[in-house]
Structure 1
Amino acid sequence: MANMNIFEKMNKVPGGLIIIPLLAAILINTFAPSILTIGGPTTALFKTGSSAMMGIFLLICGSSINIKQAGLPLYKGGVLLLMKVVAGAIVVYGVGSLLGPAGFIGISMLALVACITSSNSSLYIALCSNYGDSSDAGAISVFCIKDGPFVTMVVLGVSGLANIPFAALLSMIIPLLIGIIWGNVDEKFKQLCASAQPLVIIIMSFAIGANSSINTVFTAGLSGIVLGLISASTGLVFYFIYNFFLKQKTALGAALGTTAASSALTPAMVAQADPSLAMYVQSATAQLATASIITMLTAPILVAYFDKKIKSRNEKLALSTN
């Protein structure tokens, strides 16, 4: 049988490993939902398996964190992570305190906080190859802590906007810690996790999409575009703030103005901790998926623009000192 290279083709689509399974599951659940409720391993894996997959995903994320990383990469990663956490807190206390969980124009606070506290790590790494150095790439070992629902849950829980029990936060930390410890003492395990991550993301995305419908996607279309534009605009702010903490200026702060494709998986996880947010899960999932696509297009343009400005400024300074 001819090799169809389905995985390779999915991987070429921006965010394809999440968006394609998510949309496929939404279509199946809309037009042939009985297929996913047949019971047994099929239902457990493809309909109700998102919690188990999230546990494995957190384990994998933890395994990629290098606790031996020191110096500038550690500093940069810490600053990037702190900016995301603070941005989420500002959104919660500024917008959330005024509008409540429902948010505005159909964008719930669950969707907004999940959007602001996330960013596209894969795109950041790709941009590092053109606009950064090894210290920028190394920063991801700390910065990747914001992958998954943990930071979103902390920000929502501390603010009081969501009732997140401590046990729910602990349940997120445990697999993350196991991954950190095991990944730092066993290189083979770290490699195993890296190779397994795409499969886990595909299954988890499908399981979350299997609890939504195509009607939700169409309803969330415009608000998802607005959410994407909000996320993209934060890149301007992050660019200036990040450079405030650095001696050698970089355009990569603007790369934080992205929404991770994996953030589409966050609302379902948060709602398990606080069921009162369950009403926002379907729309938030669709909005975040849309926002991730938009910011994949805007971030490289923004980073390239600021990189050109920095190089131009450096050239002028070099000429003036000669």
Structure 2
Amino acid sequence: MKIKSAIERIPGGMMLVPLLLGALLNTMAPGTGEYFGSFTKGMIGGTVPILAVWFFCIGASIELRATGVVLRKSGTLVITKIATAWGVAMLAAMVIPEHGITSGVFAGLSVLAIVSAMDMTNGGLYASLMNQYGTKEEAGAFVLMSLESGPLMTMVILGSAGLATFEPQHFIGAVLPFLVGFVLGNLDSDLREFFGKATTTLIPFFGFALGNTINLGVILDTGLLGVFLGAAVIVITGIPLILADRFIGGGNGTAGIAASSSAGAAVANPVIIAQMNPAFAPMAQSATALVATSVIVTSVLVPVITALYARHMGSGAVAKGGVKVH
């Protein structure tokens, strides 16, 4: 059976399929982890430790010596994405109640959900798209995009917008596994290769654990709103990213469109942040559901839009049979 191949045909499938399975389990049999206990409970409820190991391995996989083109492209896209999310957070904080919207069409929407959906790019999806429609250097911009992984940027945005306060050690704790991995990976190339292999292996495991924080009933309740949020992420972050790529990054905008997705790891941010700041606990579940829907929507739409934009611009034209010609 070609299970892996079938899953990989789905955009972001190695993340989204286990996430959906976990959500089904949590919806239909929410006490499974407690019932079996031991390692089964650890796998079902191990979102934070699994992600901690993943962040460590991501850090270890990043090589300090990157070309100027890669750093320029990476920095442009990452800073633009984070700055856009920060600006949206500032505006949203003026109109959205502190604990989110609790009634009406936008029930469940919160600044936490918006920031979590907008401030991280699906780096794997971006790299895959730029390998097909861009250049090797543009695909390499995935390097700095890994710095967005985890709750750190979300914490910084929420804190700077005056929506939350975090103890200094929480900021350090959010980035410390990444930094330790980064140092070790650059001190020893063998360690970088060893730990780097785990970055893809761990994805279905934290996807499954993340799914077990989601009740599909909540997704059904917020489904249309989640679709709207996903579309908003593409439009609101995509336009600045296209402009930044064209006028600062030296590209034609294709990389900007490819970077306008929601990262799969962002699904974990509401829960992790709620653990560090209980004030976010009431909105964590609905925010998780909204971000999960946004991940699905952007994983499907961003490749389509990127392909159309690239063909319109004539960048990395794809010939018959999918072979790129220059």
Same fold by TM (over 0.5)? Answer: yes
Residues 222-241 of structure 1: pairs in structure 2 closer than 5 A: 222-234=224-236, 235-241=238-244
What is the deviation of 1:122? 1.5
- Label 1:247 to 1:23 Cα distance change in 2 as closer, same or farther (>3 A): closer
Work out which of the residue numbers 199, 202, 220 in structure 2 matches 1:218.
220
2:292 is equivalent to residue 295 of structure 1: no
After alignment, is 128-137 or 102-111 more displaced?
Answer: 102-111
Work out which of the residue numbers 270, 275, 290 in structure 2 matches 1:272.
275
- Label 1:199 to 1:139 Cα distance change in 2 as closer, same or farther (>3 A): closer
Alignment partners' CA distance in 1, 2:270 and 2:48: 12
2:94 is matched with: 97
- Label 1:161 to 1:25 Cα distance change in 2 as closer, same or farther (>3 A): same
For residues 69-124 of structure 1, give each alpha carbon's deviation from its aligned partner in whole angstroms, at most 9, with x where no partner exists: 13111111111111011011101111123324445513211111011101121121
The amino acid across from 2:239 in the alignment is L
Asked whether the equivalents of residues 124 and 142 of structure 2 are also in contact (C-alpha less than 8 Å), the reply is: no
The amino acid across from 2:221 in the alignment is T
What is the deviation of 1:30? 2.5
User: Does the residue aligned with 1:220 lie in a helix, a strand or coil?
Assistant: helix
Alignment partners' CA distance in 2, 1:127 and 1:23: 24
After alignment, is 131-140 or 94-103 more displaced?
Answer: 94-103
2:321 is matched with: none
2:6 is equivalent to residue 9 of structure 1: yes
1:44 is matched with: 42
Alignment partners' CA distance in 1, 2:251 and 2:40: 53
Aligned identity (percent) is 29
What is the deviation of 1:139? 1.8
Alignment partners' CA distance in 2, 1:247 and 1:22: 37
2:68 is equivalent to residue 71 of structure 1: yes
Asked whether the equivalents of residues 267 and 291 of structure 2 are also in contact (C-alpha less than 8 Å), the reply is: yes
Unaligned runs of 5+ in 2: 316-326
For residues 125-148 of structure 1, give each alpha carbon's deviation from its aligned partner in whole angstroms, at most 9, with x where no partner exists: 122123221221222211221122
Work out which of the residue numbers 173, 182, 189 in structure 2 matches 1:171.
173
2:132 is equivalent to residue 130 of structure 1: yes
Residues 180-199 of structure 1: pairs in structure 2 closer than 5 A: 180-199=182-201
The amino acid across from 1:26 in the alignment is A
After alignment, is 108-117 or 251-260 more displaced?
Answer: 251-260
For residues 154-199 of structure 1, give each alpha carbon's deviation from its aligned partner in whole angstroms, at most 9, with x where no partner exists: 1112222122222111111110101111112223322333332234
Asked whether the equivalents of residues 76 and 244 of structure 2 are also in contact (C-alpha less than 8 Å), the reply is: no
2:16 is matched with: 19
Residues 257-268 of structure 1: pairs in structure 2 closer than 5 A: 257-268=260-271
User: Does the residue aligned with 2:267 lie in a helix, a strand or coil?
Assistant: helix
1:56 is matched with: 53
What is the deviation of 1:52? 0.9
User: Aligned pairs, how many?
Assistant: 308
What is the deviation of 1:11? 2.9
User: Does the residue aligned with 2:66 lie in a helix, a strand or coil?
Assistant: coil
Alignment partners' CA distance in 2, 1:247 and 1:18: 32
Asked whether the equivalents of residues 111 and 287 of structure 1 are also in contact (C-alpha less than 8 Å), the reply is: yes
The amino acid across from 2:208 in the alignment is F
Alignment partners' CA distance in 1, 2:133 and 2:15: 26
The amino acid across from 1:64 in the alignment is S
Alignment partners' CA distance in 1, 2:98 and 2:188: 42
What's the RMSD between the two structures over aligned residues?
2.1
Alignment partners' CA distance in 2, 1:284 and 1:148: 16
Unaligned runs of 5+ in 1: 313-322
Alignment partners' CA distance in 1, 2:18 and 2:59: 24
- Label 1:13 to 1:157 Cα distance change in 2 as closer, same or farther (>3 A): same
Asked whether the equivalents of residues 131 and 250 of structure 1 are also in contact (C-alpha less than 8 Å), the reply is: no
Asked whether the equivalents of residues 118 and 263 of structure 1 are also in contact (C-alpha less than 8 Å), the reply is: yes
Asked whether the equivalents of residues 36 and 210 of structure 1 are also in contact (C-alpha less than 8 Å), the reply is: no
Asked whether the equivalents of residues 77 and 244 of structure 2 are also in contact (C-alpha less than 8 Å), the reply is: no
What is the deviation of 1:65? 2.0
- Label 1:133 to 1:211 Cα distance change in 2 as closer, same or farther (>3 A): closer
- Label 1:237 to 1:250 Cα distance change in 2 as closer, same or farther (>3 A): closer
